[in-house]
Homo-oligomer: A and B are copies of this chain.
Amino acid sequence: MRADAQKNHDKIVATAIEVFTEKGMDAPLDEIATRADVGPGTLYRHFPTREDLIDAVIKSWVLQIETAADDAVASDAPVREVLLRWFSAYVARISRNKGGPAKFTSAMGNSHSPIFSKCEVLRLANERVLDRFRHDGVIRADVDSLEVCRIIGGVAVVADQAGLDEAATVSMLGVVIDGLLRT
């Protein structure tokens, strides 16, 4: 890649992170191009779809989910408490930008999506946590990680779109966790 192209690429991504933080992941691409001092055509050359741009933006922070998953796997606190902390971290991660939950969750399991590989990072981290408890036999075995990502993602989408607070989210997660626990 030519030096000027690389520079533009990086500047667009850096600006997109800013704009997405301020206005959410459905912010006008127009504004990103303007603030990055590039023509709209340049943005399109680098990122043919909004999802391609999102993919580049989240690259810098999706992997941080692994830390929370590590904590969940290592913790010796009660299951319910560990899962609540883990799912809260999951929701916080995908809700970092407004509009994020819907983007992540609707792409989840769809291999044609530009952000599929990022969704897989989230799903596999979740798989790792679930596996630990599946092994212990404390959670049901008939629900796979994709489905759990979708249910938790659904909670995140609703919280995001309705502007709910942390307490409301935690309460909903509690219900889902009880549904996952063996009785």
Query: Which residues of A line the B interface, CB within 8 A?
Result: 102, 105-110, 140, 143, 147, 150-151, 153-158, 161-162, 164, 168, 171-172, 174-180, 183
Contact = CB atoms under 8 A, between A and B. Distances in A.
Given A105-B158, A154-B154, A154-B155, 10 more contacts: A105-B162, A110-B162, A143-B175, A147-B171, A147-B175, A150-B168, A157-B157, A157-B161, A175-B176, A178-B179
Contacts of A164: 150
Contacts of A177: 179
Contacts of A158: 105-106, 150-151, 153-154, 157
B183 A179 contact: no
20 contacts: A102-B161, A106-B162, A109-B162, A140-B178, A147-B175, A150-B158, A150-B164, A150-B168, A150-B172, A151-B154, A151-B172, A151-B176, A154-B154, A154-B158, A157-B157, A174-B179, A176-B176, A176-B179, A178-B183, A179-B179
